[in-house]
Amino acid sequence: MGFAGELATIGLPEVFENLAVNRLTGVLTVAGGSRRAAILFDAGSIRGFRNSLGPSIDYFEILQRSQALPPEVLRAAERRRRRRRTILDVLGGEPDFDRDAYCTAVAETIREELLQIFAWRDASFVFEEGPRAQGEFDADQLACGVAIDTGELAAEAARRADEWMTIADSIDSDHDVFLPAAGAEEHEDDREIIERLDG
């Protein structure tokens, strides 16, 4: 059992809220044009994410960024991983490994990926209730016990959308790349806009 629809008719925040309030378990697939993403829900909480177009999540890069392990131990772990399934399998007994820092960084990476989906406009969604297929989501995500609060995620997506509307009102085009002019006097409003735009 499940449901489907168009994001033009019902927004992603409402879909997420429905899944959270009803504590549903299953996979939500969002697709638009060439973009496609799958989100694993367990009792209304987000437990996993897969983007079929973007690069797969680089868990060793997350491990490095989170500083959950000294660099020399990280290099050795990367070589050992070929024989085991997840980073937690490889590093579980490592005394210098900060499991909480690593798993927090994995959850934050997934959260940022999910926030991008809220900007999709011409997309449809399908929710398929029930257990996930074996191997459908990265074992590293599942081993970390990722649990992203659906309501908090939707609120952050709304905040970012409002923030972007404020910035969009201040610029002429959303296709230009903005850089500070060499030698120009910088104003606080200009700096805020530049910081939020690519480039």
In sequence order, the β-bridge partners of residue 128 are: 2, 27
d(CA 162, CA 156): 10
Across the chain, what does the average pLDDT equal? 81
DSSP type of residue 105: H
Give me 6's structure tokens: 């168009």
Query: How many other CB atoms are found less than 10 A from the CB of residue 58?
Result: 11
**Residue 192: band (very low, low, confident or very high) from pLDDT cuts 50, 70, 90:** low
Give me 86's structure tokens: 């997840």
Full-model pTM = 0.73
**Residue 87: band (very low, low, confident or very high) from pLDDT cuts 50, 70, 90:** confident
More confident residue, 165 or 48: 48
More confident residue, 83 or 115: 115
Asked if 116 contacts 12 with a C-beta cutoff of 8 angstroms, the reply is no
Whether the per-residue pLDDT at 89 is higher than 70: the answer is: yes
d(CA 99, CA 130): 29
Please name the amino acid found at residue 156: E
**Residue 175: band (very low, low, confident or very high) from pLDDT cuts 50, 70, 90:** low
* Per-residue model confidence (pLDDT) at position 159: 84
In DSSP notation, 9-52 reads TS-HHHHHHHHHHTT--EEEEEEETTEEEEEEEETTEEEEEEES
More confident residue, 71 or 142: 142
* Per-residue model confidence (pLDDT) at position 57: 80
Calculate mean pLDDT across residues 164-183.
64
Instruction: Tell me the per-residue pLDDT of 125-136, one tens digit each, with 9 for 90 and over.
Output: 999 998 877 778
In sequence order, the β-bridge partners of residue 49 are: 39
- The long-range contacts involving 115-118, CB below 8 angstroms and separated by at least 24 positions, are 115/153, 115/156, 115/157, 115/160, 117/12, 117/30, 117/37, 118/12, 118/13, 118/154, 118/157, 118/160, 118/161
In DSSP notation, 123-163 reads -EEEEEESPPPTTSS-HHHHHHT--B-HHHHHHHHHHHHHH
* Per-residue model confidence (pLDDT) at position 28: 94
d(CA 3, CA 165): 31
